[in-house]
Amino acid sequence: MSESCIFCRIVRGEIPSYKVYEDEKTLAFLDINPSAPGHTLIIPKAHECRVEDLSREDAEALFRALHGLVAGIQEAMDAPSSSIGINNGPESGQEVPHVHIHVIPRRRGDMGGIMQGLVSATGRPSDEDLRAIAERIREKVV
């Protein structure tokens, strides 16, 4: 893990987060500047900046977590679909240099779409709203 990486600091418990899932290799938590309610980030606990730098084991664990979480996130947020995306490197728009997958619940007409969904935040919800959303998702995925 990196000493200064914000996601590594979340993994270590140094920075609070709204966790929705955790296992030995991965962690999923709400984005505090979401593109839509329920916008979740799934990260490997191992610090790597790019997908291609992950070990095979960490990559498999990351995508296994994604596979297991998507339906529960959508159900918890009453969303029939989701945008799923990875910005792989700073030139792609990756803001935190640690591999992470965005899962953004979507509804018809919400002005979503993959590109807008990964770059356009709705503003930071209240802590109370984030706690409630995290609980709804945890109930569906755990």
Catalytic positions are 100
Can you tell me the distance from the alpha carbon of 136 to that of 116, in angstroms, rounded to the nearest whole number? Answer: 25
First to last CA, the chain: 26
Residue 140: CB partners within 8 Å, gap ≥ 6? 71, 72, 73, 75, 76
Can you tell me the distance from the alpha carbon of 34 to that of 142, in angstroms, rounded to the nearest whole number? Answer: 22
The angle at the Cα of 82, spanning 52 to 10, to the nearest 5 degrees, equals: 55
Tell me if 69 sits within 8 A of 103, measured CB to CB. Answer: yes
